[in-house]
């Protein structure tokens, strides 16, 4: 858009913009101010007994999940985009289903099924007389395996799009020079898709850093569990904030590496293209079908079946508390999502319609960094920020003791999720259309109602559903910030599973998965409708 066509800021607009930016940014910035007071005794205990272990555990988990999600995401994406076999089109979309399964749900399902006292190992001992056993809680591999099954769709989604966008003549040229399909993949397709792979891995590893439920269920100590312990067990919010800054450094390092790699080797390939696929037959087709089915069975089928069995076995009538948990979850998720999308809409409207200084642009972009931060880190930052706000008033707990803290944490955490789809929708609006409407005397309200709203609706609805689903599954921030007695589906599922009450946890977990599935279907319908709309070019 030409700068001359942009409307200048009024003083009120500037103040309102900075108020929104500060509201979202200060909880993040407040972590840095926590170092003014250090609990030397607690830090001595941490450094002597836990800090090196926490670092080692966290990096081992990151490495394990990076390998697992990389292998799964890349291989699955290549098979559904470069090969032809029975059921390929179905698998292409079914492989997104693990998005609907929270990691902590899959964790307690695996424990219930594969732990020493579970049905699988009991069958081997009692029926096949195989003694010994396997402790899936021991070491990092069990946690890494479960997280890889849940988070591989991040790599799969982006890598699949990258493979589809690659010109087919690249691999055809490699094949004509005598390369096998695998060699063409290794030498041509994978290097071209590397930026997408790294971006997907970065998202998956951010989720690993943010995870609290899975590592807690497996008793695997990481920085996230240490943050919770410092806050809840040792009653030291400052130490929790200081640990959070260390975790923030790890997250920032991942972001920097991702940007460095993406900038170092960027490939531009455009829109999806018709691909030449290798037809798999016989043993290869059966092996491929078995591999994809196995991943789906472990990541989605197993939790769905086992949770249904547990729910059926334990069901003795509708529990009114379940209605309360569903209501609490939906109230929090929908209200917070609406507020988050509204702010994302305002910020994007400012970008689209007003000239911005570099500082203002940086401030708006800074508000989207919360998604890179674990929920536990944001919970600590929000509490520090709101304690200061309460202190500036009369010292009461006006803001830090209710749902307000949770809503702020959700806004900060998921602003990027809302910002992206809304920003993409704004980019489809041709500047000349709004200029023509203004020249014809349309008021700002008429301009928004007749032009912006119809074109922005798909992006707004997509953002709304994405944020709602993320909030419903969010555990660390909800668990740490919720008011006493305000339980949600995620919180109760986690609490019941950590107590070993898998049957009782099954029904709320199933409801969570059901809502997630419904959300995925709605998002896919919206995406399909948006693709049918002819984009308006600049």
Residue closest to 433 by CA, chosen among 448, 446, 445, 451: 451
430 SS3 class: coil
- At 350-393, the pLDDT tens digits run 777 777 777 877 788 777 777 767 777 788 888 878 877 777 77
Residue of 379 and 265 predicted with greater confidence: 379
Structure tokens at 46: 């941490």
Measuring CA to CA, how many Å separate 439 from each of 5, 19, 130, 444, 465? 11, 31, 82, 12, 36
So what's the pLDDT on residue 175?
Answer: 62
| For the chain, percent of residues with pLDDT exceeding 90 | 13
CATH no. of 59-219+279-314: 1.10.3720.10
Among 306-320, 441-455, 468-482, 515-529, which is the least confidently predicted range? 441-455
- At 382-434, the pLDDT tens digits run 887 887 777 777 656 666 667 888 888 898 888 878 887 787 777 767 666 66
So what's the pLDDT on residue 295?
Answer: 94
Among 115-129, 268-282, 333-347, 363-377, which is the least confidently predicted range? 268-282
Q: Where are the domains of the chain?
A: 59-219+279-314
- Bridge-based pairing state of the strands 83-84 and 278-279: parallel
Using a cut of 0.85, tell me whether the model's pTM lies above it.
no
DSSP state of 361: H
Among 69-83, 128-142, 169-183, 480-494, which is the least confidently predicted range? 169-183
Measuring CA to CA, how many Å separate 87 from each of 94, 143, 305? 10, 31, 22
Average pLDDT, the chain: 79
Residue of 167 and 241 predicted with greater confidence: 241
pLDDT at 269 over 50: no
So what's the pLDDT on residue 147?
Answer: 94
CB within 8 Å of 339: residues ≥ 6 apart = 407, 411
Q: How far apart are CA 347 and CA 19, in angstroms?
A: 11
- CA 34 to the chain's CA centroid: 27
* End-to-end Cα spacing for the chain: 8
What are the backbone dihedrals phi and psi of residue 279, each rounded to the nearest 5 degrees, phi first? Answer: -80, 120
So what's the pLDDT on residue 397?
Answer: 62
């Amino acid at each position: 858009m030409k700068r001359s066509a942009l409307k200048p800021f009024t003083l009120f607009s500037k103040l309102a913009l900075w108020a929104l930016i500060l509201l979202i940014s200060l909880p993040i910035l407040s972590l840095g101010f926590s170092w003014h007071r250090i609990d030397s005794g607690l830090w001595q205990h941490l450094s002597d007994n836990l800090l090196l272990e926490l670092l080692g555990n966290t990096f081992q988990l990151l490495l394990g999940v990076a390998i697992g999600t990389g292998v799964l995401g890349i291989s699955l994406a290549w098979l559904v985009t470069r090969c032809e076999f029975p059921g390929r089109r179905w698998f292409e979309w079914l492989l997104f289903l693990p998005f609907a399964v929270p990691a902590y749900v899959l964790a307690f399902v695996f424990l219930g099924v594969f732990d020493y006292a579970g049905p699988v190992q009991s069958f081997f001992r009692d029926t096949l007389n195989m003694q010994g056993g396997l402790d899936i809680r021991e070491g990092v591999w069990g946690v890494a395996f479960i997280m890889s099954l849940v988070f591989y769709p991040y790599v799969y989604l982006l890598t699949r799009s990258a493979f589809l966008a690659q010109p087919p003549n690249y691999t055809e040229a490699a094949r004509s020079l005598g390369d096998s399909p695998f060699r063409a993949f290794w030498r041509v397709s994978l290097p071209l898709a590397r930026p997408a792979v790294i971006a997907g891995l970065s998202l998956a590893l951010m989720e690993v850093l943010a995870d609290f439920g899975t590592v807690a269920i497996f008793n695997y100590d990481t920085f996230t569990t240490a943050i919770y312990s410092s806050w809840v067990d040792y009653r030291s919010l400052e130490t929790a904030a200081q640990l959070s800054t260390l975790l923030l450094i790890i997250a920032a390092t991942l972001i920097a590496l991702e940007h460095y790699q993406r900038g170092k080797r960027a490939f531009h390939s455009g829109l999806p293209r018709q691909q030449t696929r290798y037809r798999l037959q016989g043993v290869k087709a059966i092996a491929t079908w078995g591999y994809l089915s196995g991943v789906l069975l472990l990541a989605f089928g197993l939790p769905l079946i086992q949770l249904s069995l547990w729910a059926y076995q334990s069901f003795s009538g509708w529990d009114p508390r379940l209605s309360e948990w569903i209501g609490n979850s939906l109230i929090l998720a929908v209200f917070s999502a609406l507020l988050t999308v509204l702010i994302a809409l305002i910020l994007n409207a400012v970008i689209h319609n007003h000239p911005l200084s570099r500082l203002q642009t940086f401030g708006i972009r800074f508000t989207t960094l919360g998604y890179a931060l674990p929920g536990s880190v944001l919970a600590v930052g929000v509490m520090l920020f709101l304690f200061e706000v309460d202190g500036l008033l009369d010292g009461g707990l006006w803001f830090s003791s209710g749902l307000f803290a949770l809503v702020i944490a959700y806004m900060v955490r998921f602003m990027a999720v809302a910002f992206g789809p809304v920003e993409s929708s704004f980019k489809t609006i041709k500047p000349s259309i709004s200029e023509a409407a203004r020249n014809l005397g349309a008021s700002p309200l008429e301009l928004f109602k007749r032009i912006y709203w119809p074109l922005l609706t798909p992006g707004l609805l997509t953002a709304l559903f994405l944020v709602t689903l993320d909030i419903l599954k969010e555990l660390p921030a909800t668990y740490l910030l919720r008011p006493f007695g305000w339980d949600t589906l995620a919180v109760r599922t986690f609490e019941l599973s950590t107590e070993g009450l898998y049957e009782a946890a099954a029904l709320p977990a199933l409801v969570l998965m059901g809502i997630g599935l419904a959300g995925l279907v709605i998002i896919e319908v919206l995406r399909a409708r948006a693709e049918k709309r002819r984009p308006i070019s600049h």
